[in-house]
Chains A and B, each alone.
Chain A
């Protein structure tokens, strides 16, 4: 089975812009979670989607949003980018039968 894929792998944006990141889960997995990883804050949960519905949300401002499509692929969007949004954004997928999460390689976002 192919693993979790994320596109793009690297992004450079400037402050004030918006960005959309994409995640394709492992085939058959219906849950997709998003995390932000920074050296200072570590791995922090953004939100989780299951069957196109957001089931859980972390403590991030409303500039961070996401959605999930009927094929379980997910996107996250960050609007009005700030310098502090520079991070590795990771998505993880899991099946509906277990809470084991498998991570993708991440998207490295740099905000200038």
Chain B
């Protein structure tokens, strides 16, 4: 089955700096890669996603890049704000059975 690895497990940045979280996947059949943000006591919230026919996608301060050849994808958050502090999960999926394989999460702390 698919194996998704995520790094780093914790990340602290100063407010205004950029944060980068990286994930690798093992199954070349995976074709959908969402990123979720989870705040304490809440369910994961989709923040951005990318499909395998696209190399990069941006939404305001958030961007995701995908390298299919190397089987890795990254989340980039620019101009970080304290409200960006949360746990971020990457995931990979490749079938209509909607089975997502999740990374182990990155706890991001933005220091004011």
Contact = CB atoms under 8 A, between A and B. Distances in A.
Interface of A: 4, 31, 33, 35, 42-45, 48, 50, 55-56, 58, 90, 92, 94, 99-106
Contact of A105 (B42, B99, B104): B42
A45 B34 contact: no
29 contacts: A31-B98, A33-B99, A35-B100, A35-B102, A42-B102, A42-B104, A42-B105, A43-B44, A43-B91, A43-B100, A43-B102, A45-B100, A45-B101, A48-B97, A55-B96, A55-B97, A56-B95, A56-B99, A90-B44, A92-B98, A99-B96, A99-B98, A100-B34, A100-B46, A100-B49, A101-B98, A102-B46, A103-B36, A106-B42
Contacts of A44: 102
SS class of chain A's interface: helix, strand, loop or mixed?
Answer: strand
Contacts of B100: 33, 35, 43, 45, 101
B89 interface: yes
Interface string B68-112: 000000000000000000000101010111111111110000000
Most A Cβ at <10 Å: residue of B43, B91, B102, B105: B43
A39 to B, nearest CB: 10
A101 B46 contact: yes
Contacts of B45: 103
A28 to B, nearest CB: 16
B98 A33 contact: yes
Contacts of B36: 103
Nearest to A88: B43
Nearest to A41: B104
A73 to B, nearest CB: 17
Given A43-B102, A103-B46, 20 more contacts: A33-B99, A33-B100, A42-B102, A42-B104, A43-B44, A43-B89, A45-B99, A48-B99, A50-B98, A55-B97, A56-B98, A94-B98, A99-B96, A99-B98, A101-B46, A103-B36, A103-B44, A105-B41, A105-B43, A106-B42
